Chains A and B, each alone.
Chain A
Amino acid sequence: MLEVLIIDDDDIVTLVQGKLLQNCNVCESPLKFKRASEALEYLNSASPENDYLLLLDINMPLMNGWEFLEEIEKLAIKEQIFVYMVTSSIDYNDKEKSKNYSRIVNFIEKPITIKNCDQLKEHKYFKSHFE
Chain B
Amino acid sequence: MNYSSGELKILVVEDHIGDYILIEDYLNEEHVKIHLTRALTFTEAKEKLESNERYNLILLDLSLPDVDDNETLVRNMVALSNNTPIIVLTGFANKVFGVKTLALGISDYLLKDELNAPQLAKSIYYSIERKKIDIKLSESERKYKSLFDASPLPMWVLDRHTLQFLNVNQAAMHMYGYSEEEFMQMNIRDLWSEDFQTIIENAWQKNYHDSFGMMVKHHKKSGEVLYLEITSNPIEFDGKEARVTQAKNITAQMAAEEALISSEKRFKALVQDASDLIMIFDFEGNMSYVSPSSNQIIGILDSEMVKNNFFYYIHKDDVEIVKNHIAMLQDKKRIQIPSYRIKTSANKWRYVETIVTNLTDDESVNGIVANCRDITEFIKQEKKLISSLKRYDTVAKATSDTITDYDIENDKMYYNEGIESVFGYDKNAIENSGKWWNEKLHPEDRDRVEGYSKYVRKEKPANIQVEYRFKCADGTYKYILDRSYIVVDEQGNAIRIIGAMQDITEIQNYIQTIENHNSRLKDIAWTQSHVVRAPLARIMGIINLLQNFPDISEQAELLDHIITSAVELDDIIRNITIKTENVSTIDK
A residues sitting closer than 8 Å to B (CB atoms) are 10, 12-13, 15-17, 19-20, 23, 59, 88-91, 109-114
Contacts and interface: CB of A to CB of B under 8 A. Distances in A.
B552 A10 contact: no
Contacts of A90: 529, 533
A67 B542 CA distance: 29
A13 B538 CA distance: 6
Given A12-B565, A16-B561, A91 B529 contact: yes
Given A23-B548, A23-B552, A88 B530 contact: yes
A16 B533 contact: no
A88 B545 contact: no
A23 B552 CA distance: 8
Interface string B551-565: 010100110010011
A89 B533 CA distance: 6
A19 B552 contact: yes
Contacts of B529: 89-91
Contact of A110 (B533, B554, B557, B558): B533
Given A12-B564, A16-B558, A89-B529, A114 B544 contact: yes
Contacts of B561: 12, 15-16
B328 interface: no
Instruction: In the A-B complex, list the 8 residue pairs whose CB atoms are closest, starting with the nearest.
Output: A111-B541, A110-B537, A88-B533, A16-B541, A88-B534, A88-B537, A89-B529, A89-B530
A41 to B, nearest CB: 25
21 contacts: A12-B542, A12-B564, A15-B558, A15-B561, A16-B538, A16-B545, A16-B558, A16-B561, A17-B541, A23-B549, A59-B530, A88-B533, A88-B534, A89-B529, A90-B529, A90-B533, A109-B537, A110-B537, A110-B538, A111-B541, A111-B544
A91 B529 CA distance: 7
Interface of B: 529-530, 533-534, 536-538, 540-542, 544-545, 548-549, 552, 554, 557-558, 561, 564-565
A12 B542 CA distance: 9
Contacts of B534: 10, 88, 110
Given A16-B558, A88-B537, A90-B533, 6 more contacts: A10-B538, A12-B538, A13-B541, A16-B545, A91-B530, A110-B534
Contacts of A91: 529-530
A17 B544 CA distance: 11
Contacts of B565: 12
Nearest to A58: B530
